[in-house]
């Protein structure tokens, strides 16, 4: 699946806030190595530098487009690696290992958390965030429309993003020597501009289906999705639209 850094960054403020709130719960003062798995276009690296100025900062992403964007803006000394996080391994213990809004793209990612946890240095932390909105109308609509006969020839068998219940992250990350903090936040995003729910979801969750469709069908899909979303997420008197968006966060500190 291809990512479009510019499209993703159109909602940079909202998308970055989740990472700020995740990092705020990381209780690690000194770090030598800080890694962000699924770093995207590199818009979050400044937070890591500000928080751990002496650390080697590494961003890892599998998308060539995201990696190119991240490298173009990465300050000197920051390393951006193109790799699949399922195969990526640190060459030394990681003090802060983060992954935000990424693991939902990795099928069965709960099974992988043990491996990520094992990379964390004593006194360090693994901090992850995933969307928990796949049962919300924005995504239900997306999957239902993709299954429509007009689109099914291109969309059947598509891999959709998914995440687990908060308690599943708590269970998997807990264990002797670990202190785990799991929480959810729901953001009432106030969106403006034309077809704002479609515009939001086009940067992330809708990418598999939009990428799969030929041009004519993609245009038709966009038109039908926008019309259906406008029914479920009506415009307010000032023209804005509210999109409630829940995220689950987990921080596992290694004692
Ligand atoms: C929604 S963006 C999140 C970017 C950033 N972490 C943030 O919080 O805004 C998801 C990123 O995960 C990357 N990604 C998805 N699957 C991946 C994998 N298996 N290995 C590495 N990166 C992956 C994508 O290329 C994309 O850049």
How much distance in Å is there from the Cα of 3 to the middle of ligand 1?
9
Atom of ligand 1 nearest to the CA of 204: 1
Which residue's CA lies nearest to atom 1 of ligand 1?
A: 101
Rounded alpha-carbon distances, angstroms, from residue 26 to 126, 131, 152, 232: 8, 19, 43, 37
Q: How far is the CA of 42 from the centre of ligand 1 (A)?
A: 11
Class of 5-254 per CATH?
alpha beta
CA-based torsion, 57, 60, 64, 69: positive or negative: negative
Distance 237 CA to ligand 1 centre (A): 35
pTM, to two decimals: 0.96
* Most informative mutation of 22, 34, 38 for ligand 1 (most atoms within 8 A of CB): 38
Specify the ligand 1 atom closest to the Cα of 36: 6
Give the CA distances from residue 153 to residues 66, 150, 202, 214, in Å, rounded to whole numbers and listed in that order: 29, 8, 20, 11
Instruction: Find how far residue 248's CA is from the centre of its chain.
Output: 11
Give the model's pLDDT for residue 174: 98
- Reduce the DSSP state of residue 97 to 3 states and report it: strand
In three-state secondary structure terms, 95 is strand
Tell me the average confidence (pLDDT) per consecutive run of 10 residues in the chain, 255 residues long. Answer: 90 94 98 98 97 98 98 96 97 98 97 98 98 98 98 96 98 98 98 96 95 98 98 97 98 98
pLDDT at 244: 98
Pocket of ligand 1 (CB under 6 A): 3, 15, 19, 38-40, 44, 61-63, 66, 84-86, 100-102, 105-106, 204
The answer to whether 163 and 103 are in contact (CB under 8 A) is yes
Considering only CA atoms, which residue is closest to atom 19 of ligand 1? 84
**Closest atom of ligand 1 to CA, residue 86:** 19
**pLDDT value of residue 1:** 83
Work out the end-to-end distance of the chain between its first and last CA atoms, rounded to an integer number of angstroms: 38
Domain ranges of the chain: 5-254
Q: Supply the pLDDT for residue 17.
A: 96
């Amino acid at each position: 699946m291809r990512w479009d850094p510019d499209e993703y960054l159109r909602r940079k403020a909202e998308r970055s806030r989740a990472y700020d709130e995740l990092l705020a719960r990381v209780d690690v003062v000194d770090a030598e190595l800080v890694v962000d798995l699924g770093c995207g276009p590199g818009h979050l690296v400044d937070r890591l530098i500000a928080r751990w100025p002496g650390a080697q900062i590494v961003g890892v992403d599998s998308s060539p487009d995201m990696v190119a964007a991240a490298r173009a803006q990465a300050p000197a000394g920051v390393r951006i690696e193109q790799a699949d996080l399922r195969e990526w391994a640190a060459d030394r213990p990681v003090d802060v290992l983060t992954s935000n809004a990424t693991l939902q793209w990795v099928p069965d990612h709960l099974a992988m958390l043990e491996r990520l946890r094992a990379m964390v240095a004593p006194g360090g932390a693994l901090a992850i965030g995933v969307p928990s909105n796949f049962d919300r109308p924005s995504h239900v609509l997306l999957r239902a429309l993709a299954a429509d006969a007009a689109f099914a020839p291109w969309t059947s068998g598509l891999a959709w993003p998914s995440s687990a219940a908060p308690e599943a992250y708590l269970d998997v990350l807990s264990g002797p020597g670990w202190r785990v903090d799991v929480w959810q936040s729901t953001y009432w995003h106030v969106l403006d501009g034309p077809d704002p729910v479609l515009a939001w979801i086009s940067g992330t969750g809708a990418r598999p289906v939009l990428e799969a469709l030929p041009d004519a069908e993609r245009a038709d899909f966009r038109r039908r999705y926008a019309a259906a979303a406008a029914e479920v997420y009506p415009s307010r008197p000032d023209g804005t639209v509210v999109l409630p968006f829940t995220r689950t966060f987990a921080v596992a500190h290694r004692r």
